[in-house]
Amino acid sequence: MQGSVFHDLDFPPASLFGGRELLPVESIFKNHPKACLTILSRTLDTKHGYRILKPLLDRRFKVQAMAPDLPFLVKGTPVEAWFRELRKGRKDPSEIPLSQNLSNLIRLAVLYKYGGVYIDTYFILYSSKTLSNRVKEFYWGAEHEFRFINEFALTFNGNKWGNNGPYLVSRVIKRLFKRHDFNFTILPPMAFYPVDWNKISGFFTKLKTQGRIKTGRSQPASAQWEDLWDSSME
């Protein structure tokens, strides 16, 4: 995927940005040196953010931080009317933090309008051509990406975690699998999560038996599980 366009979202604030946060970015350019990377972040789209990314820019890697403009992103999409009603207070965001669901919407809108590859900022790439809720590749205006963003508008539920994110992807893909004119390759969870989120603490305790935690040797990417990593180190 030389020359691919990558999109990153949910970076930590620029004030907390360090070596660990830069590792996923470095993994993108290690595997795709000609890629274009867009980091969707308000705090990195600043002078301070520019200084953080300058070492990459000095090496002529194509990376740019941009503050997401959600009204612009949803304009002309199936979710525009839903977002307008939300801003007018006519849509109830419910219990799940609205910021989480708006992040889901930004992912879908960016891919729908510009195509490319979306990857969470705590993902480390080892190879290419992967598809999960955390790593998605689409062409601009692709029919299946239209289905994702349309699903968001039609089935939004702010009371159920994941309904507008990973479960949304699963619902759409499950329906598409019934058709013969769509060709998807979806890898199992082990390809992306060699260590389950509730087992990460096992890396910081003495093993009582061999083989307590098994990790894949050839997965294309892995998640850092940053919050759990921090709590395990305390």
CATH number at residue 102: 3.90.550.20
Same domain (yes/no): 130, 204: no
Residues 171 and 192 reside in one and the same domain: no
Q: Which two tokens stand for residue 135?
A: 């790593």
Residue 163 and residue 76 share a domain = yes
85 and 169 both lie in a single domain: yes
Across the chain, which has 234 residues, the per-10-residue mean pLDDT values are 56 73 86 89 90 93 93 94 94 91 92 84 70 48 80 95 91 83 72 69 61 51 50 36
The pTM is what? 0.77
> Can you give the residue range of the structural domain that contains 179?
5-186
* Number of folded domains that form the chain: 2
| Pair (222, 134) in one structural domain | no
Identify whether residues 33 and 43 lie together within a single domain.
Answer: yes
Look at residue 202 in the predicted model and tell me its pLDDT.
Answer: 67
Q: What is the pLDDT of residue 28?
A: 87
> Residues 31, 115: one domain?
yes
Q: Based on the domain organization, do 141 and 215 belong to the same domain?
A: no
Are 125 and 28 spatial neighbours (Cβ–Cβ below 8 Å)?
A: yes
